[in-house]
Amino acid sequence: MGIDQPVSDFDQMQYQSEAFLELTHIIQTKKIPNALLFYGQENTGRKEAAILFAKGCNCKSGTKLFCRTCTSCRKIDNNSHPDMIFIEPPEGKNIITISRIREVGGILSSRPNEAKYRMVLISKADAMNTQAQNALLKMLEEPPGNTFFVLTAVKPDHLLATIISRCRKIRFKSMSGKVIAKRLISEFQTDPEIAHIVSETIGSDFKKILACLGLNNEKDSCEKEGPDWLKKRKWLMETLVDIIKADKEDLSKGFMLSQKLCLDAGFINDASAIIKTFFRDLMIFPVFPEKIVNLDFFDSFSHITQMVHKDRFFEWSKYLYESEKKIEANCTLRLVLDSFFLKIAGNGREVYV
């Protein structure tokens, strides 16, 4: 596994300056911890940082953090270094099992082949099941020589407290929506309104944002995902408006939306994020209409907030929160969505004084 984005030095990771300053200090002082925990949202540079850190710990130039020309740096860049061990959930699965951790244990029973410091990078460490975490804990309690572990996690609270206590914790901050929007406008000439909507809807995952807009790091707009995502978002927003405005007796729109979302598994997480912004906008529109996310639906929010009492918006947000918890608990997705859309259907007909 190589580096996803080329980086010439730690200080060029401008959005993670604090994390990289700390890692630089560790390399310079040669006080390498047995284990580090890189935590933060997806695509905040945690994996890239781990690879750069491994290069810095093993670079043979002796003059820079890493040189990119010595045999160690080149092998790490080419994913051919025998002492760089990478663990992550298998493709299509969201769990790391004990068998994979035991494999690592077998490798670590021998000395490193050629590295000064061998690295074990466990990406998505919070996906380890309890048995896998306990197996890892034994390794951390009796760390092998000349070896350090890097664990990356979005949800570090899913790790055992005893694992966390043995790690040096380094936080990778998310870019704010405003920063992301500015980058989209300045670097990719994105329409300001679209930049605002996408950055506030998807969050700090910049790679995902680029994909949703049909962009890539070469600033080409040739991917099909972008236009498709924008069309789906508009369709979902319009359908939510229609469901609220519908007659109480007309429940078909809610059932049809539920069915379509269940059939589009790849869009369900994005749909959840879009629905959240929709109800957030409804709650704040009566007080701060200029601060809504979905600016292109300003007129729709204005109409709905004139027809439905604001207390209802908070009730809907509560229903949404409860629905999310049920989905996380592996309740049947179709039943949860049906129930939620039934609770909001037809409420737009209740005029308040």
User: What integer pLDDT is reported at residue 285 of this predicted model?
Assistant: 95
Q: What is the pLDDT of residue 4?
A: 37
Which residue, 246, 322, 248, 221, is CA-closest to 279? 322
Q: Which residue has the tokens 């350090």?
A: 148
pLDDT at position 44, please? 82
Average model confidence (pLDDT) for the chain?
87
- Residue 78 per-residue DSSP state: T
> Would you state the pLDDT for residue 16?
73
Exposed, middle or buried by CB within 10 Å (0-12, 13-18, 19+), for 41? middle
Burial of 244 per CB tally in 10 Å (0-12, 13-18, 19+): buried
Q: How many CA atoms lie within 13 A of 80 on its CB side?
A: 6
pLDDT of residue 242: 93
DSSP H or E segment with residue 150: strand 147-153
Give pLDDT tens digits for 89-112: 998 788 999 999 999 999 999 999
pLDDT for 101:
97
Flag whether pLDDT at 353 surpasses 90: no
Dihedrals phi, psi of 262, to nearest 5 degrees: -65, -30
- % the chain with pLDDT above 90: 64
| pLDDT tens-digit map of 213-266 | 988 654 444 344 456 899 999 999 999 999 998 876 677 889 999 999 999 988
264: its two tokens: 């589009």
Q: Measured on CA atoms in the order 266, 270, 272, 274, is the torsion positive or negative?
A: negative
Higher-confidence position of 199 and 223: 199
Confidence at residue 347, expressed as pLDDT on a 0 to 100 scale: 64
pLDDT, average across residues 269-287: 94
Q: Higher-confidence residue: 302 or 3?
A: 302
Q: List, edge to edge, every strand of the sheet that includes 84-87.
A: 84-87, 118-122, 147-153, 35-40, 168-172
Mean pLDDT of 174-179: 84
* Token code pair at residue 207: 């790679």
Q: What is residue 92's predicted lDDT score, i.e. its pLDDT?
A: 78
Name the pLDDT band for 68 (thresholds 50, 70, 90): confident
Per-residue tokens: 127: 């996906």
Percent of the chain residues past pLDDT 70, beyond the cut: 89
Give the helix/strand (H/E) hosting 238: helix 225-245
pTM: 0.65
Closest CA to 254 of 343, 316, 318: 343
The Cα–Cα gap between 198 and 297 comes to: 14
Q: How far apart are the first and last CA of the chain?
A: 62
Q: Pick 61 or 110 by higher pLDDT.
A: 110
Contacts of 245 (CB under 8 A, 6+ apart): 303, 304, 307, 348, 349
The better pLDDT of the pair 12, 240 is held by: 240
Q: Greater confidence, 250 or 209?
A: 209
